[in-house]
Structure 1
Amino acid sequence: MSVSPRETPADTTGADGSTEPPGPVRSDASVILHATDNGVLWITLNRPESLHAITADQREQLISDFFEASADPAVRAVVVTATGRAFCAGADLRAASPARPGEPVPGDVARVIRLGAQRLIGAVLDCEKPVIAAVNGIAAGLGAHLALACDLVVAAESAQFIEVFVRRGLVPDGGGAYLLPRLVGPRRAKELMFFGDALCAADAERLGLVNRVVPDGDLTQTVRAWAQRLAAGPTRALALTKQLVNSSLDADRTAAFAAEAAAQEINMTTADAREGVASFVERRAPRFRGR
């Protein structure tokens, strides 16, 4: 496992015997922790006193993290999680400041959304490595959308998902009106966004927002097992598969079939594809290298 140079690894076993995400101990200057473990980049939100409400600086760091993960051959899967009792309470409205002093200028709000929350969700969707959300508690507003933009979502039994915008008299942002109908259909999406009720982990799984719900103490172990399986897989094939699935939601059959054929053409030039075919012929397990 590698950690940031200014930090040291933490003991990953809790007092109750549960495991925590691998990573460095908290420092006051580090509100996002990073650790790479067997090809898996763990991104851990670390401002529990604010329930990990995302500031502009944190948002920009997260965007950078996802872009860097795409380009780093040592990273073959990404996990997003948080310390404490919440996953992410959304954008930090207390830390937000007006784009300009004085009277608001028409277009400022839309510009802030496009350059802020939407860029973060886009960075997750466009990341060329598979991304797992390990949701350890409340995921509200932008925090819920951050989780739902990930490729796979594993939730602790105590997790809750809340489309909190309506409670504040706001329109959903951060891609919510794009993500939710594609995950649960328009009627369920409207129910969640119109009422803003907390959705427990079991109900989120029933609706298809979550892949697995596990006891709180099993969350890290379950996610680590999935992430390591992904990290041992054919990285480029997974990236192309992710791209195909995401783009298919906005494409007709002709375009989707053309994209599929083009992706397979590209994928067949990779070393992992050649290894996969060779291992089948030779009747052995494949040894994928992410190339």
Structure 2
Amino acid sequence: MTSSPVPSNTPGTATPSAEAAKAADPLDPVDSLILHATDNGVSWITLNRPEVMNAITPDQRERIIERLADASADPGVRAVVITAQGRGFCAGADLRGSASAGDRVAGDVARMIQRGAQRLIGAVLDCEKPVIAAVNGTAAGLGAHLALACDLVLAAESARFIEVFVRRGLVPDGGGAYLLPRLIGPQRAKELMFFGDAVPAAEAERLGLVNRVVPDGELTKTAREWAERLATGPTRALTLTKQLVNASLDTDRAAAFAAEAAAQEINMTTADAQEGVASFVERRRPAYRGR
């Protein structure tokens, strides 16, 4: 298990990131704000700024991107969980100081979004391991998009999702106008974005934003169960399936079918594919090894 430092967590809700790092010595200040631990093949990334509802600074954003890239490259990591400490999952980007940023050159804002929020969301979508969001509280703005970019979304009963951009006089960024219509259709997406009303967890599940809502005290347990189930699965097949599904909404049938056939051709060369077929023939449980 690898870890970075963390203060004590709420009783009964400690993630592996929190549990593993309590005794660690401080290294990088960002490591105390973006906690990390790898346990049973699962990389746990935990946002840890509860005093500001886990609003993300540029340094924190870069660390999350690094952790996701590390997960893709590490054969010992076979699933990822993104969660947070405290009452909020993520209040979005930390905007303090941005209003007094002074004169801007044309294109500065676009470059900032492309290099910042969009890179973060892209890192989740492109991660080569399945990513679960365990949403423990309010997910607003970029924080909502961070959760919705994940492959599976678990939400505590107290969680809420809020599209705050238009309420602040802003256009949705961080992939919001890309993600939401694909999840719930354009009409519902525009309703959420235009009005910016808080969507409770149960309603988010009904709309299709969330896979499952669980009691607050069971969120970490359920996330662990789901992640460890993925971590014992055929990793390469999961990766290729993720890529096929994510690409399917941006392509036509012919291209999607061609990609599917190519993915199966690649996957059939893996040891896990051979094990899956052999276990079926031999009528036993498969023992996947992630390769």
CA distance in 2, matches of 1:199, 1:143: 14
Q: Distance in 2 between matches of 1:44 and 1:180?
A: 24
TM-score, reference length from structure 2: 0.93
After superposition, residues 1-291 of structure 1 pair within 5 angstroms as 1-4=1-4, 7=5, 15=11, 18-23=12-17, 24-25=21-22, 29=29, 30-94=32-96, 96=98, 102-291=102-291
Alpha-carbon RMSD: 1.8
Deviation at 1:102, TM superposition (A): 4.9
State the Cα distance separating 1:11 from its structure 2 match: 7.8
Q: Secondary structure at the match of 1:2?
A: coil
Q: Secondary structure at the match of 1:113?
A: helix
Residue identity opposite 1:59 in structure 2: R
Structure 1: how far apart are the matches of 2:267 and 2:99? 45
d(CA) in 1 for partners of 2:146, 2:52:
17
Query: 1:289 deviation in Å?
Result: 0.5
- Aligned residue pairs: how many? 283
Contact map agreement 1:166 1:193 (CA 8 A) in 2: yes
AA partner of residue 264 (structure 2) = Q
TM-score, with length taken from structure 1: 0.93
C-alpha change, 1:95 and 1:33, in structure 2 (3 Å) is: farther
Aligned residue type for 1:276: G
**Stretches of structure 2 lacking an aligned partner (at least 5 in a row):** none
Q: Secondary structure at the match of 2:86?
A: coil
User: Structure 1 unaligned runs (5+)?
Assistant: none
**Structure 1 Cα separation of the partners of residues 37 and 204 of structure 2:** 29
Mapped to 1, the partners of 2:113 and 2:163 lie a distance apart of: 17
**Residue identity (%):** 76
Contact 1:55-1:95 at 8 Å conserved across structures:
no
Q: List 4+ stretches of structure 1 deviating above 6 A.
A: none
Q: Which amino acid is 2:90 matched to? A: C
* Structure 1 residue matching 2:139: 3-state secondary structure: strand
Deviation at 1:280, TM superposition (A): 1.0
Q: Is the 8 A contact 1:87 1:138 kept in 2?
A: yes
3-state SS of paired residue (1:84):
coil
Distance 1:210 1:42 in 2: 19
SS class of match (1:52): coil
Return the letter of the residue paired with 2:286: P
Query: Hey, what's the Cα distance between the residues in 2 that align with 1:175 and 1:67?
Result: 19
Give the conservation status (yes or no) of the 8 Å contact 1:55–1:96.
Answer: no
Q: Give the conservation status (yes or no) of the 8 Å contact 1:155–1:210.
A: yes
Q: How big is the shift at 1:281? A: 1.2
Partner Cα separation in structure 1 for residue 146 and residue 2 of structure 2:
25
- Letter in structure 2 aligned against 1:79: V
Shift of 1:42: 0.4
Q: Which segment is superposed worse, 22-31 or 247-256?
A: 22-31
Give the whole-Å Cα distance in 2 for the aligned partners of 1:213 and 1:105.
44
Paired with 1:267 and 1:165, the residues of 2 have a C-alpha distance of 41
Output the CA distance in 1 between the equivalents of 2:180 and 2:164: 14
Letter in 2 for 1:190: K
How far did 1:50 drift? 1.0
Kindly state the Cα deviation for residue 2 of structure 1 after the two structures are TM-superposed.
3.2
